[in-house]
Amino acid sequence: MKIGVLGTGTVGRTIATRLVAIGHEVTMGSRTADNEQAADWVGEAGDRAAQGTFADAAAFGEIVFNCTAGVASLEALGSVPGEDLAGKILVDVANPLDFSRGMPPTLSVSNDDSLGEQIQRKLPDTRVVKTLNTVNANVMVDPGRVPGEHDLFVCGNDADAKAEVSELLESFGWTRERIVDLGDITGARAMEMYLPLWLRLFGTFGTSELNVRVVRRPDS
Amino acid sequence: MKIGVLGTGTVGRTIATRLVAIGHEVTMGSRTADNEQAADWVGEAGDRAAQGTFADAAAFGEIVFNCTAGVASLEALGSVPGEDLAGKILVDVANPLDFSRGMPPTLSVSNDDSLGEQIQRKLPDTRVVKTLNTVNANVMVDPGRVPGEHDLFVCGNDADAKAEVSELLESFGWTRERIVDLGDITGARAMEMYLPLWLRLFGTFGTSELNVRVVRRPDS
């Protein structure tokens, strides 16, 4: 499959590398067509890897991953001509973490809205699926790095889009039983507002390779 | 031990009942000394149970539980004379859920502050420990209702207070290994901002008797 990855940071490079490794063609997008980190990645990732602008990557992809920094996501997506994302699935991996006020970061949007919803409103013809934002980049593409069973959340307004993204997640190693569908895109509030707890657990345990497993009373 | 429980709702009554059952004396506090729900509870709970105003319950308790509705907690605590909470441990179980704008509730405070911090600021001579707010009332006092291992978070500025509260949590059935200390009271942001995810999981699975287990990469 042809996939566009927006963003050249750790998350974008990790996901793009994994996508190429499992057989996809990937164009990595950034603000400029000659971004150095993207160029380094293309050099390492081989024949199925290319780079370009955000618009180039979005136009290339049948599915597009938003791996830009959350506070820059709307601007990045705004630089893509509408037709290049219309009808497509956009996998929104970003968290709206605002580091401008120091550590720990706050969320630039939360509580009665979310980045996932903002993106869906900005791109009404795109099928936005929020997922992967609750684990670190290594765990996103290789859940076995965290032992035992643990869960990944997805949400979005389009059931077919969630099913297609779930298949892609399975190819990363997530089992269907551990992919928890939280419903429509407003679930992004819950998934993004979990980040302060994730950050706190990171600090407590000294590792970002952690996740949660949902456990519940049976037959209730 | 003499314990004050502020609040007559499901959480207050459930915790108070459990405390009496394991041998403590409990005074349940509300806005008025003759609250009907508290009176019903006293009738059921027996000799070690009593009721009174918030001030009565706080004055009675060596440890005090805040089980009032989060949006009403500061007002409730404000009705207690300062000396009746000074030096004591206040276990803050409340969530700042604001239902005034419909369902799902938003948080009345979040992101760069929390109810736990607001309470600690209001009561600088009280040792506030935030805990139990991430599970439903039945699970709070009987974690075995959710099968397998799952975690309870605590935070607060005073290590001795957290240790003492942890002993109480152990008497509820939480094992020491599953009580995760998230550090100082600013951890309340993380614990309260988790609520939207908890509410979403409740909706997804159709049960509120659920919790999360933190899993992480070993030796990292």
Q: Is residue A115 very low, low, confident or very high in pLDDT (cuts 50, 70, 90)?
A: very high
Residue B9 clears pLDDT 70, i.e. is over it? yes
Stretch 3-62 of chain A: residues touching chain B, C-beta under 8 Å: none
Predicted local distance difference test score (pLDDT) of residue A219: 67
Please tell me whether residue A98 adopts helix, strand or coil conformation.
Answer: strand
Q: Is residue A218 very low, low, confident or very high in pLDDT (cuts 50, 70, 90)?
A: confident
**Whole-angstrom distance, CA of residue A214 vs CA of residue A125:** 33
**What domains appear along chain B, each with residue ranges and CATH number?**
2-205 (3.40.50.720)
Average pLDDT of the residues of chain A: 97
Predicted local distance difference test score (pLDDT) of residue A122: 98
**Whole-angstrom distance, CA of residue A147 vs CA of residue B96:** 34
Residue A108 clears pLDDT 70, i.e. is over it? yes
A160-179 tens-digit pLDDT: 999 999 999 999 999 999 99
Q: Is residue B116 very low, low, confident or very high in pLDDT (cuts 50, 70, 90)?
A: very high
**CA dihedral (A80, A83, A84, A86) positive or negative:** positive
Average pLDDT over residues B116-137: 98
Please tell me whether residue A158 adopts helix, strand or coil conformation.
Answer: coil
The conformational region for residue B142 under phi > 0 = left, psi -120 to 50 = alpha, else beta, is beta
What ipTM does the predicted assembly reach? Answer: 0.96
B10-68 tens-digit pLDDT: 999 999 999 999 999 999 999 999 999 999 999 999 999 999 999 999 999 999 999 99
Beta-bridge partners for A65: A5, A91
How far, CA to CA in Å, does A202 sit from each of A97, A154, A211, A219, B198? 15, 22, 10, 33, 20
From the number of C-beta atoms within 10 Å of its C-beta (0-12, 13-18, 19+), residue A185 rates as buried
Tokens of A52: 């370009």
**Whole-angstrom distance, CA of residue B3 vs CA of residue A165:** 51
**Whole-angstrom distance, CA of residue B152 vs CA of residue B136:** 12
Q: Chain A: nearest CA to B208, how far in angstroms?
A: 8
Q: Chain B: nearest CA to A8, how far in angstroms?
A: 26
Task: Return the DSSP state at A105.
Answer: P
Q: Is residue B218 very low, low, confident or very high in pLDDT (cuts 50, 70, 90)?
A: confident
**DSSP character string of B5-38:** EE--SHHHHHHHHHHHHTT-EEEEEESSTT-HHH
User: Does B213 contact A215 at a Cβ distance shorter than 8 Å?
Assistant: yes
Average pLDDT over residues A119-141: 98
Predicted local distance difference test score (pLDDT) of residue A204: 97
B196-207 tens-digit pLDDT: 999 999 999 999
Tokens of B145: 């209702």
Average pLDDT of the residues of chain B: 97
| Chain A residues in contact with B214 (beta carbon < 8 A) | 201, 205, 210-212
Q: Is residue B178 very low, low, confident or very high in pLDDT (cuts 50, 70, 90)?
A: very high
**Whole-angstrom distance, CA of residue A32 vs CA of residue A178:** 37
Predicted local distance difference test score (pLDDT) of residue B219: 67
The model scores a pTM over 0.80: yes
Average pLDDT over residues B113-124: 98
| Chain B residues in contact with A206 (beta carbon < 8 A) | 220
